[in-house]
Amino acid sequence: MSKKNAIVICGGGSTYTPGIVLMLLKERDRFPIKSIMLYDNLAERQEPIAQACEILVRERAPEVAFGYTTDPETAFTGVDFALAHIRVGLYAMREKDEKIPLKYGVLGQETCGPGGIAYGMRSIGGVLEILDYMEKYSPDAWMLNYSNPAAIVAEACRVLRPNSKIINICDMPVDLMEKMADMCGVDVHGLQYSYYGLNHFGWWSKVYDKDGNDLMPEIKRHMAKNGFADGIVHEEGKEQHIDESWVHTYEKARDVWAVDPETIPNTYLKYYLFPDYVVETSNPEYTRTNEVMDGREKQVFSAAREMIAKGTAEDCGFEADEHATYIVDLACALAENTMERFLLIVPNEGCIENFDPTAMVEVPCIVGRNGYEKICQGKIPQFQKGMMEEQVAVEKLVVEAWIEGSYQKLWQAITLSKTVPSAKVAKLILDDLIEANKGYWPELH
Ligand code: NAD
Ligand code: G6P
Ligand code: MN
């Protein structure tokens, strides 16, 4: 009989918490759990989500202990896994990350360009804080982190907590592989693939089905016509990204793919390869954050309130989408030694032969009880190497700026971002961001 796991979800008030709780309950045959604890540093944000999840767990899995807290010791004592999805500064700050660069004609995005850099400067301290709590109260636990911007957070952990049991992971490649599998009419499970890049900045170079059949020709046919849009699943509750802006991103992948038709790109490359298009099609008054606040946030919190008012989870408005699946899959791989393949954000150390060994790269890994083993990706082409070198320098400069409190390095980071036209514009944006992030960023000098 497998061991039963104790889970803490960090960022209990996140819009993704209900989906993860649902998925943990659904999958408990293969990933047995004894307890779920929610932890957040903002009680009023967490309260409705936690109360609704409490009803849900009580009705569907009474044998699973459930609790919620803002006290780190209560949260992190006796846990096997910490699943982390915090957002330092909440949507109010995400909105500023998006809108400030747009004032200067530069794209505003959660994890890319100046907005992603600003978020990184807030997120590093928050993730280190929960990692330290976990290590203090449960030194053997694993942290599975998907708090963004994952690339910058991962680099900060590499430098500042090199021995910590933290694995950084993103759901975008999972979502895109489901779409590729769907285009080809095969099951996503057992897909074999080669992929190299940074987080939100990578390419598939090979994709085979579980029997080793090459899927690239079929995927390329779809990419040439509609990008990833052909892989969108129109079944209720199946698709994580249904909003119109996401559908455009999937379609735009056709143009992103055309820049290098030998590989299949991550959708996030649109921000680096077509920044002018992104700015032209953005509304500086109404950005993705506004869409999320009017959509997912309202939906999740009103579903929670409804459950609390009714006192039952019978017609539960929560959904477990694929975002939740991969986190449970990863925890399960570590707990049950499944030796499955995952795309993880890990130190390069030669995995991409002709690339900085100290970079945090996104590559396929085999995961089991003793952690992960990288699958060597060999040499990558000049085009991707050039783009990645520029972007990894941005990410490293942000982490150095955070550690040293260096204005100069942060200015260099923003200047170097492919999304920013000049050092002059970078400085204007930086000075605005400093003002907006008072109390969140370290003092810069
Ligand atoms: P959200 O604002 O709804 O939730 C974040 C929660 O974190 C809030 O309740 C907030 O109070 C809490 N929080 C902030 N700082 C904290 C701290 N120091 N300690 C404890 N709790 C803290 O955000 P969301 O839209 O649900 O997204 C949550 C996070 O997940 C974001 O970072 C988002 O970018 C990330 N995310 C990552 C992926 C991925 O692919 N890696 C996918 C989806 C979401
Ligand atoms: C994808 C990315 C995440 C990102 C999310 C944003 O899933 O992999 O890293 O946080 O999209 O989605 P949102 O709906 O909040 O704009
Ligand atoms: Mn991601």
Two structure tokens written together for 253? 């992948």
Mutate to test the pocket of ligand 1, among 37, 39, 42, 86 (most ligand atoms within 8 A of CB): 86
For residue 308, give every residue at least 6 positions away whose Cβ sits within 8 Å of its Cβ, in sequence order, or none. Answer: 48, 51, 52, 55
Residue 324 confidence (pLDDT): 78
Specify which residues 410 forms β-bridges with.
none
pLDDT at 1 over 70: no
- Ion ligand 3: residues, CB within 5 A, are 170, 172
For ligand 2, atom 15, which residue shows the shortest CA distance? 292
Rounded to two decimals, the pTM is: 0.98
For ligand 1, atom 1, which residue shows the shortest CA distance? 14
Nearest to 15 by CA among 313, 245, 301, 236: 301
Q: What is the pLDDT of residues 63-122, one digit of tens each?
A: 999 999 999 999 999 999 999 999 999 999 999 999 999 999 999 999 999 999 999 999
For residue 2, give every residue at least 6 positions away whose Cβ sits within 8 Å of its Cβ, in sequence order, or none. Answer: 32, 335, 336
Radius of gyration for the chain, computed over Cα atoms and rounded to the nearest angstrom: 21
Q: What share of the chain is helix, strand, coil (3-state, %, to 5)?
A: 50, 15, 35
pLDDT at 354 over 90: yes
What's the rounded Cα separation, in Å, for the pair 53 and 73? 21
pLDDT at 320 over 90: no
Max Cα-Cα span within the chain: 62
Count, residues in the chain: 445
Nearest to 10 by CA among 92, 111, 131, 160: 131
For ligand 1, atom 25, which residue shows the shortest CA distance? 15
Two structure tokens written together for 242? 């249904």
In order of 186, 206, 417, the CA distances from 196 in angstroms are 23, 10, 20
With a 6 A CB cut-off, is 293 part of the ligand 1 pocket? Answer: no
With a 6 A CB cut-off, is 14 part of the ligand 2 pocket? Answer: no
Mutate to test the pocket of ligand 2, among 172, 249, 250 (most ligand atoms within 8 A of CB): 172
The mean pLDDT value of the chain amounts to: 96
Residue 232 confidence (pLDDT): 85
Q: What is the pLDDT of residues 196-223, one digit of tens each?
A: 999 999 999 999 999 999 999 999 999 9
Lowest mean pLDDT among 44-48, 237-241, 419-423: 237-241
Q: Which ligand sits nearest to residue 145's alpha carbon?
A: 1
Q: What is the pLDDT of residues 395-440, one digit of tens each?
A: 999 999 999 999 999 999 999 999 999 999 999 999 999 999 999 9
Nearest to 202 by CA among 393, 381, 329: 381
Q: Which ligand sits nearest to residue 176's alpha carbon?
A: 2
The dihedrals phi and psi of 403, each to the nearest 5 degrees, come to -65, -45
With a 6 A CB cut-off, is 292 part of the ligand 2 pocket? Answer: yes
**Quick one: DSSP state of residue 3?**
P
HSE-CB at 323 with a 13 A cutoff on CA atoms is 21
